[in-house]
C-alpha cells in the first residue's frame, strides 16, 4: 500500500507489531471491530490517523509517522481514509496458494 505524503510516495504495511500497537491505541475490543467500523463507514479521523501511523511504523518509517499530524497527504482526507481502509483489509486477507 502506497500513499503520497509531503510529496513523497510512502509504502505502508501493518506488521504484527503494528497491529498489536493499534489494539492498544484504539478504543475497540478487537481489530475485527475496527474492520467492521471501516466496512460500515463509522470510522473517525483518529482511526485513519492511527492506521496510517501504524502502517508507516510497520515499514520502519517512524519519523514520517511522527510528522503525519501536520503532513500534506495527496488526495486529502478521502485518500487517507481509503489507504487506511485498504491497510486494515489487507491485514486480514488470507494469502492464496
Q: Using CA atoms, how far apart are residues 29 and 60, in angstroms rounded to an integer?
A: 26
- Listed in sequence order, the residues at least 6 apart from 24 whose beta carbon sits closer than 8 Å to its beta carbon are none
Q: pLDDT, tens digit, for every residue of 20-46?
A: 888 778 877 777 887 888 888 888 899
Helix (H) / strand (E) element for 23: namely helix 16-25
Q: What is the pTM of this model?
A: 0.88
Mean pLDDT of the chain: 88
Looking up cell 481514509 gives: 81
Find the range with the poorest average confidence among 40-44, 51-55, 68-72: 40-44
The domain spans of the chain are: 2-91
Contact indicator for 49, 1 with CB cutoff of 8 Å: no
With 90 as the cut, is the pLDDT of residue 55 above it?
yes
Half-sphere exposure of 62 (CA within 13 A, CB side): 4
Amino acid at each position: 500500500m502506497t500513499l503520497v505524503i509531503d510529496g513523497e510516495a510512502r509504502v505502508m504495511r501493518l506488521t504484527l507489531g503494528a497491529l498489536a500497537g493499534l489494539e492498544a491505541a484504539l478504543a475497540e475490543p478487537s481489530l475485527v471491530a475496527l474492520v467492521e467500523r471501516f466496512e460500515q463507514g463509522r470510522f473517525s479521523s483518529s482511526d485513519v490517523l492511527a492506521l496510517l501511523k501504524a502502517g508507516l511504523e510497520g515499514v520502519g518509517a517512524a519519523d514520517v509517522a511522527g510528522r503525519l499530524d501536520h503532513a500534506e497527504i495527496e488526495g486529502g482526507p478521502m485518500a487517507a481514509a481509503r489507504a487506511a481502509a485498504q491497510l486494515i483489509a489487507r491485514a486480514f486477507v488470507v494469502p492464496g496458494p
